[in-house]
Chains A and B, each alone.
Chain A
Amino acid sequence: MRPPARVSCSRSATLVGRALLPLSALLAAALPAVAATLVVRVQTPDGHALPGAVVTVHPLEGPPRHATPVRAVMDQVNRSFAPDLLVIPAGSTVEFPNSDSVSHQIYSFSPAKRFQLPLYRGKPYPPVHFEQPGVVTLGCNIHDEMLAYLLVTDAPWYGRTGDGGSWSAEVPHGHYRVELWHPRLREDESDLRRELTVGDADRAELTVRLSRSPQPAPLTGRPHSWDY
Chain B
Amino acid sequence: MERRLYRFASLLILLAAAGASRATDWEVSLDTRLVTSDAYPSFMDGGLGTVRFGSDDSGLRLGRARFAVTQPLGEVFSAHLDASVFDDKDRSALGVTEAYLLFRPYPRGGYRFRLKAGGFYPPVSLENRSSGWESPYTLSYSAINSWLAVEVRTLGVEGTLDWLGTRTGHAFDLGVTGGVFGWNDRAGVMVASNGFVVTDRQTPLFGRLGQPGVRPLNGAEPFMEIDHRAGVYGGLEARYLDRAVLRVLRYDNRADPTAADSVSHVLAWETRFTSAGLRVEADHGWTAIVQWLGGDTTIAPPSLTLNWPFQSTFALLSKRIGRSTLSARYDRFAVQTNAPEVYGAQDGHAWTAAYIFDANAHWRFTLEWVRVTSSSENREEQGGPPLASETQWQLAIRYALGSAIR
Contact = CB atoms under 8 A, between A and B. Distances in A.
17 contacts: A102-B403, A103-B25, A105-B106, A107-B107, A109-B110, A118-B75, A119-B75, A120-B23, A139-B107, A141-B106, A142-B104, A216-B243, A223-B136, A223-B358, A224-B404, A225-B404, A226-B136
Interface in B356-406: 358, 403-404, 406
Interface stretch (B166-174, B224-232, B296-304): B166-174
Nearest to B109: A109
Given A107-B107, A226-B129, A219 B136 contact: no
Interface string B282-316: 11010000000000000000000000000000000
Nearest 3 pairs of A and B residues by beta carbon: A103-B23, A102-B404, A226-B129
A120 B320 CA distance: 32
Interface in A179-226: 183, 215-216, 218-219, 221-226
Interface residues of B, number: 32
A216 B241 contact: yes
Given A107-B106, A107-B107, A226-B129, 12 more contacts: A109-B109, A109-B167, A119-B75, A137-B168, A183-B169, A218-B241, A218-B242, A223-B136, A223-B358, A225-B130, A225-B404, A226-B136
A103 B72 contact: yes
B265 interface: no
Q: By DSSP majority rule, is chain B's interface helix, strand, loop, or mixed?
A: loop
Contact of A141 (B107, B242, B320, B404): B107
Interface of B: 23, 25, 72, 75, 104, 106-110, 129-131, 136, 164, 166-169, 171, 241-243, 281-283, 285, 320, 358, 403-404, 406
Interface residues of A, number: 32
A182 to B, nearest CB: 12
Interface in A74-124: 100-103, 105, 107, 109, 116, 118-121
Given A102-B404, A116-B106, A223-B130, A215 B171 contact: yes
A147 B75 CA distance: 20
A227 interface: yes
A224 B358 CA distance: 13
Given A102-B403, A109-B108, A139-B107, A119 B72 contact: yes
